[in-house]
A and B are shown apart, each in its own frame.
Chain A
Amino acid sequence: DVKVTQSSRYLVKRTGEKVFLECVQDMDHENMFWYRQDPGLGLRLIYFSYDVKMKEKGDIPEGYSVSREKKERFSLILESASTNQTSMYLCASSPYQITEAFFGQGTRLTVV
């Protein structure tokens, strides 16, 4: 079974903190994605990576950065957390020519 593991299920951080969300996949997939999910807005793509050290901005990259130093690991970084970044964050992975994206369980981040 494909497994995508996100490091935390729930996080509470203070405004201005630097926040790291980690994601690891065990299927040697080339693509990895970070989405955020908000009520009424669905899943919105923040960043994706199609190879080690490669990244592309998604639809809402402002306030976020990413790092992919190893194929299996994709990190999302909130440089200075703000309350409007309170959300559910979902990591996903897929092979090239995606026919299925496999999602992690999600991290519910609250910024206070």
Chain B
Amino acid sequence: QKEVEQDPGPLSVPEGAIVSLNCTYSNSAFQYFMWYRQYSRKGPELLMYTYSSGNKEDGRFTAQVDKSSKYISLFIRDSQPSDSATYLCAMREVGTDKLIFGTGTRLQVFP
């Protein structure tokens, strides 16, 4: 079993939809959680970063961490065609700088 599981998609939604992207993990020592966005033929860029449990909001994006269920989510409100990309979750333990990535979910938002 992989440490971090993520549905690869593709996920195709109409413009304006609410998108939910999810990752599950098995290592209860993970404390730092991140979401990266990767456009085609580009390197990943950090979108959201959270520590431990709870929610974090940034504009149209909300990151949610449920440590009891070992489950993290990224919600995108009012999705736009420019949100079409691959979204990767990543996480790490305290005291290590090794990031463990999910496989990524490919999202397509059509006009």
List residues of chain A with CB under 8 Å of any chain B CB. 4, 31, 33, 35, 40-45, 48, 50, 58, 90, 92, 94, 96-106
The number of chain B residues touching the other chain, given as a range, is: 20 to 34
A44 and B98 CA atoms in complex are apart in Å by 11
Contact between A106 and B88 (Cβ–Cβ < 8 Å)?
A: no
Main SS of the interface on chain A?
Answer: strand
Using A41-B103, A42-B6 as known contacts, say yes or no to A100 and B46 having CB atoms under 8 A apart.
yes
Residue pairs across A and B with CB atoms within 8 Å: the count is 53
> Smallest distance from the beta carbon of B95 to chain A beta carbons, Å?
9
Contact between B88 and A42 (Cβ–Cβ < 8 Å)?
A: yes
Q: Does B32 contact A (CB under 8 A)?
A: yes
Residue of B nearest to A96 (CB): B97
Using A42-B103, A90-B43 as known contacts, say yes or no to A97 and B6 having CB atoms under 8 A apart.
no
